[in-house]
Homo-oligomer: A and B are copies of this chain.
Amino acid sequence: MAKQRIVIKLSGSLFSFDTQVKALRDYTQLIKKIANEYQPIIVTGGGRIARFYIDLSREMGLDESGLDLTGIMVSHLNAKLLMSGLGDLCHPTTPKNLDEISTAVNSEKIIITGGLYPGQSTNATSALIAERTGAIKFFNATDVDGIYDSDPRTNKNAVLFDSIKVTDCIDMLRKENSIAGTYDLMDLISLKVIQRSRLPCVVFKSSVENIEKIVLRGIRLGTEITISS
């Protein structure tokens, strides 16, 4: 019987001009381990190299949608880099749209891809992928510890939510223009996708240890986004 699918969004911060092979290898070892239990679909962000190309292109006069496409291209380059350590365990190309995702998961291999559509964060894209592939959970491995009640960078007493209802999360995002300390984490499209599909989601700080704990050992970390019944 086919394994259950999970989607893991990997923060683009893993990919930078000073990325070391050691860090990448730790991630691919972990992904192999995960693949013993689930069919993982990994979505990589663009990170600093994307920002480098985007900043230069914007200065050169490229329109914002064009910049989105550039960011997507770099995220696929990052995806290919991660695939380098997985050989035949991994689907050999990075899917470019939801139809290619649907066909790729047929192979029952590990899927690694980047952003798919302009005008959409890789978070939102990850949520769509989870929805389309019937994934049982969306693990959002980010640069912060989870969702706070206020911005932890400016408010020492900010409290990390253990869990938050998706409707409350949407309200926070609407009112504050961004969820405290989590701008970029969970944008409105991601949340609406989570809501419409009742997709379990957890937001937590990305590290090999944390992903292993939360995905493979069932240890609670970060913030669960819950669906009100």
Task: Mark A4-27 against chain B: 1 for CB-CB distance below 8 A, else 0.
Answer: 000000000000010101001100
A84-119 residues at the B interface, CB under 8 angstroms: 84-85, 87-88, 91-93, 97-99, 102-103, 105-107, 109, 116-119
A103, B100: Cα distance in complex, Å: 12
Taking a contact as CB atoms under 8 Å apart, the answer to whether A132 and B65 are in contact is yes
In the complex the two chains form, what is the Cα distance from A25 to B60 in whole Å? 7
A124 at the interface (CB under 8 A from B): yes
Closest to A25 in B: B60
Number of interface residues of A (CB under 8 A): 67
Complex-state Cα separation, A177 to B84, whole angstroms:
31
- Which of B84, B105, B125 meets A62, CB within 8 Å? B84
Q: Does A218 sit within 8 A of B, measured CB to CB?
A: no
- Determine whether the beta carbon of B92 is less than 8 Å from that of A28: no
Chain B residue numbers with a CB within 8 Å of A70 are 77, 80-81
Which residues in A have some Cβ–Cβ distance to B below 8 Å? 2, 17, 19, 21, 24-25, 28, 49, 52-53, 56-66, 68-70, 73-74, 76-77, 80-81, 83-85, 87-88, 91-93, 97-99, 102-103, 105-107, 109, 116-120, 124-125, 128-129, 131-132, 134, 174-175, 177, 188-189, 193, 196-197
